[in-house]
Structure formats: C-alpha cells, structure tokens
Amino acid sequence: MKFTGAVAVVTGAGGGIGSALGERFHDAGATVVLSDRGGTNLEALGARLNARRANSAHVIIADVSVESENQRLVTQAREIAGPIDLFFANAGVGAGTDLGSSESDWNTSFDVNVHAHRWAAKYLMPEWLAAGRGYFASTASAAGVLAQIGSAPYSVTKHAAVAFAEWLSITYGSRGISVSCLCPQGVNTAMLRGGDRPATKDSAIDPNEGNVVRAVGAVLEPAEVADVVHDALVAERFFILPHAEVADYMRIKATEHERWLGGMRKLQKRVLGF
C-alpha cells in the first residue's frame, strides 16, 4: 500500500505499539485516526501530530470490546477523515492466567483480542468490497502462532486472532482486500511491564510472565516494531514478524511438534519453575 494521502485507523493508539504505529503511518504521509479507551495518551499524540501537519490526526475514544463502539468508530472515522484505506486492529489485553482464570478475564480477552477484529471488519467490508480495495491489519502476537506460557486466555485468543486474519485473507484476498497480521515477541510497552493489569495474582497475568517474554529473545522498542510494520504493509506481506526467530520456531512447531512441545515445557520450568 501507499501511505501518502491514505487514511489509516489505529486502535489501541493511546500507548505502546499503537502509538508508534500511528506516528509511523503519519510520518509516511497518512492521515491518521487514533482510537483508544479514555484515560490514555491519545489526545497528546493527536496534538503532537497535528502540530507537524495541520488536521492530519484525529482522535476517537471508543471501547472496542463492544460491537456498537466498533461500528461507531468506523462510521465516525469515515465522516471525519474520508474513506478508510487501512484499519489496524491493534488494541489488546493480557488478562488471565491458568485454569483459574476468571470468566471475566476470558470474556474480555475474547472481546478485545478477537471479537473487536471481526466487528471492525464487519462494518468496514461492505464499503471496501464495493470499492474493490481495503487493508485490514491486526496485532496478534507470537503467542498466536506459538503459545503463551502462563496465560491460557492470551494464548487462545491470540491464536483466534491469527485464524481470523487468515480467514479474511483467504475469503477476500482475491476481491482486492489485503490483510496482515503482526506477531511480535517482547515489545517494551505498558503491557509487557504489567501496567495494563490489576495487581492481584487472581485476575492478572502472573508478573513473571514478562520474564517469559524476556527469556525468549530481544525486547524491541515500539518504534522499531512500527518501522517493520510500515515496510511489511508497503510490501503487503501477511505475517509481520519483527522478531525473525519466530519464523524458525513456527517451522520447528510444524515439522517437529513433539520436540517443540518439550522445548516449551523446558522453557516454562526455567522461567516459572514448574
């Protein structure tokens, strides 16, 4: 895709990877619609980008865990900025631990990490199909192609996010719709540092979970990830893997599955002690 003159919507743009994506797409010449829940750094980012280029960044507060909010986001983004060229469903939550994860953690994980993607696509697709073009990208995780040690809800919902993106690509790829899926390992954001979680162990990912991510490879800065994403979207590649080793792990998982499972158990023992 070409970013110059494009309209790009990014959810979860109030911090971390989403903020960096919004800024990178804006640098590349796009008009950006930045969305997140209230109480984030969204407004400050919008003001900073508008100071660089007037009327080039718009802010929409929306809770993507609710279907009607996704519909409103798509509708308002079109009204404010014009036809949407790229929608990046990046908002995500890291909630839950093991079999004791609460129903609420499971439901929130599915709502934000999976259903938000399909709700957005549902309201984007009619206009995109009529135009014969549109770009849907989502942030899943390396946990969506491998596994997340320590969190069943995160592992399961991120796999579902990858599956949904693949389904979109297969179903609409020959009708002008491009799809990409970002699957990073560790990125230095509030989520990795545990900032998006309640403090109690009952309802949050174990604080050690950040250590699992750190144990398997480099922790990248959001801006580094955004550069990789920009180049992958220009090339219209489906999988975006800022940590190149994830492709190797995927190959081992596909060809030597028992060995891969054993390796993951060893990693869990090393980091979590069981």
Binding site for ligand NAD (CB under 6 A): 11-12, 14-18, 36-37, 40, 63-65, 90-93, 112, 139, 141, 184, 186-187, 189-192, 196, 213
**In 3-state terms, what secondary structure has residue 56?**
coil
| Residue facing ligand NAD at closest CB distance | 92
Q: Return the exposure string of 20-34: e unless at least 16 CB atoms fall within 10 Å of the residue's CB, then b.
A: bbbbbbbbbebbbbb
As to burial, measured by CB atoms within 10 angstroms (0-12 exposed, 13-18 middle, 19+ buried), residue 85 is buried
Smallest distance from ligand NAD to CB 181, Å: 11
Nearer to ligand NAD, 31 or 139 (CB): 139
Nearer to ligand NAD, 101 or 189 (CB): 189
Smallest distance from ligand NAD to CB 138, Å: 8
Smallest distance from ligand NAD to CB 185, Å: 6
Contact criterion met (CB below 8 Å) for 233 and 201: no
DSSP E strands, 4-121? 7-11, 31-36, 57-61, 86-89
Contact criterion met (CB below 8 Å) for 30 and 7: yes
Smallest distance from ligand NAD to CB 42, Å: 8
Contact criterion met (CB below 8 Å) for 86 and 8: yes
Nearer to ligand NAD, 30 or 181 (CB): 181
Measured N-to-C along each axis, helices 16-27 and 222-235 cross at an angle, to the nearest 10 degrees, of 50
Contact criterion met (CB below 8 Å) for 45 and 34: yes
Smallest distance from ligand NAD to CB 32, Å: 15
Contact criterion met (CB below 8 Å) for 32 and 26: yes
Nearer to ligand NAD, 29 or 217 (CB): 217
Q: Which amino acid is at 246?
A: V
Smallest distance from ligand NAD to CB 144, Å: 8
Nearer to ligand NAD, 5 or 38 (CB): 38
Nearer to ligand NAD, 2 or 193 (CB): 193
Structure tokens of 103? Answer: 């129903």
The closest of 232, 267, 23 to 138, measured between CA atoms, is 232
Smallest distance from ligand NAD to CB 134, Å: 21
Running DSSP on this structure, what letter comes out for residue 87? E
Smallest distance from ligand NAD to CB 115, Å: 10
Nearer to ligand NAD, 2 or 104 (CB): 104
Nearer to ligand NAD, 50 or 188 (CB): 188
